[in-house]
Chain A
Amino acid sequence: MAANPMTQFEVYRIGPEIKIGAFDISFTNASLFMVVSSFAILLIFNLGSKKNSLLPNKLQLLAELSYTFVSKMINDTAGSKARPYFAFIFSLFMFVLFCNMFGMIPYTFTVTSHIIVTFMLAAFIFIGVTVIGFMKHGLGYLKLFVPSGVPAILLPLIVIIEIISYLSRPISLSVRLFANMMAGHTMMKVFGGFVISLGIVGGWLPLSFSVALTGLEILVAFLQAYVFAILTCIYLNDALNLHH
């Protein structure tokens, strides 16, 4: 069974079964890597912010560069009004990034390769952005669906398209991350399986592919976290500064 490329995504219980009512909230390998990722983020950034020296050490530099990176990203896409949501987007970016990166270590579990996790994040963002939009602009937020400068005949169609595209945001956001992570890891597993099955004679080609894919996947892991965060910023920008 080890050669099945989908086995790596299987969730299994670690420790005893925990149940609240009818719901099973047992600690699983997915939970383990969520905890590990969060703990790693907190550890790194806590150490990076502990000592404030004028010439930062490596960890401090890392923490401060991440801080300015996310801060700049938010400022560029959503403007200064998005400042109160900085902590959320920072946590989101770091959480996704660390989950993706921990998934790159062999024999680990990739939390973000599960649609339910990414969908929960995306749904939370979607609901949050919608609530912020309605709180900021009232019913005027509905103007988001009515772009200006569109001929009256086309307007009903455009509005329908806009509504559909708005409603599909959480799905596109979650599926993008989940599919990228799953596809990458599956591909790596498949190529890894080829190395074994072709052996020492023909295994070198898939092995080199595997090495190249590892590099690519690390890039994708970063890129998808970045895309996830920046799309959140863009949605937030729609809610904060109604442009249409």
Chain B
Amino acid sequence: MSKKIFFQLLIFNFLAIKKVFAAESGGMPQLNPEFWVSQIFWLTLTFGILYVVLSKIILPKIGANLEFRKSQISDNIEAADNQREQSEAKLKEYDEIIFKSKIEAKNILNQAREKAFKDINAKKEVLDKQIDNEIKKVEDEINQLLKDAPSKINKIAIDTVSVLTQKLIGAEVNNSSITAIVEDLSKRDGDKYYGN
């Protein structure tokens, strides 16, 4: 089968080669003026129609389309720019508000702190004064007590001495003489007992 095809091809080849060599060079058909006028006519007609339709209808439309798209895109870009600017302004405003409110908050805090300090100071002063007064009063009392203490002790001593002497010797001793002795003693050695 394949052999048959091969031979067929071989024969066909010889035929083809024969045809190639048989073909005489007939020159260039382009230089045959038979259809020149026809070609010029049809070229003018088709190219003319092509030019007119393209220039009057189609090209302006494509140009307008391109222009339209360009303007639309630039419009969109412009709008986007606008919006960005607006948002930037808003952001600035917002930042400012936050900054202002921060300052305000700080001020309020400072004021409150100052006020609290003032209050505390005032209260402290009052308290200090009260405490001082109390201390003074107590000190006065103590001083009074200290002042009174020797005479009271003397009196107790005198009483004790008179009672003791009465019990020991059974005689009434004159109070005034005991008083004199005690006072004399307390005057001499009072410092040792009371530290005044």
Contacts and interface: CB of A to CB of B under 8 A. Distances in A.
A106 B194 CA distance: 147
B30 A9 contact: yes
Contacts, number: 155
A34 B43 contact: yes
A63 B28 CA distance: 37
B38 A6 contact: no
Nearest to B10: A199
Interface string A1-21: 111101101110100000000
Contacts of B36: 116
A54 B72 contact: yes
Contacts of A31: 38-39, 42, 46
Interface residues of B, number: 50
Interface residues of A, number: 58
A1 B59 contact: no
B51 interface: yes
Interface string B59-81: 10111111011001000000000
A91 B54 contact: yes
B89 interface: no
A95 interface: yes
B29 A24 contact: no
Interface string B1-33: 000001001101100110110011111111110
Contacts of B30: 9, 113-116, 178, 182
Q: Summarize A's interface: helix, strand, loop or mixed.
A: helix
22 contacts: A6-B28, A11-B29, A11-B38, A24-B34, A24-B37, A24-B38, A26-B38, A31-B38, A34-B47, A52-B64, A52-B68, A52-B69, A63-B62, A88-B51, A90-B54, A94-B50, A117-B39, A120-B40, A196-B13, A197-B13, A199-B16, A200-B9
A204 interface: no
A25 interface: yes
Contact of B50 (A24, A41, A64): A41
Given A3-B20, A38-B47, A91-B50, A46 B58 contact: yes
B109 interface: no
Contact of A87 (B46, B54, B66): B54
A1 B23 contact: yes
A107 interface: no
Contacts of A28: 35, 38-39, 42
A38 B37 contact: no
A116 B38 CA distance: 10
Contacts of B65: 49, 52, 60, 64
A25 B68 contact: no
A68 B19 contact: no
Nearest to A8: B29
B108 interface: no
Give the 10 A-B CB pairs with smallest separation, nearest first.
A87-B55, A31-B42, A4-B23, A199-B13, A49-B61, A34-B46, A25-B41, A38-B50, A52-B65, A11-B35
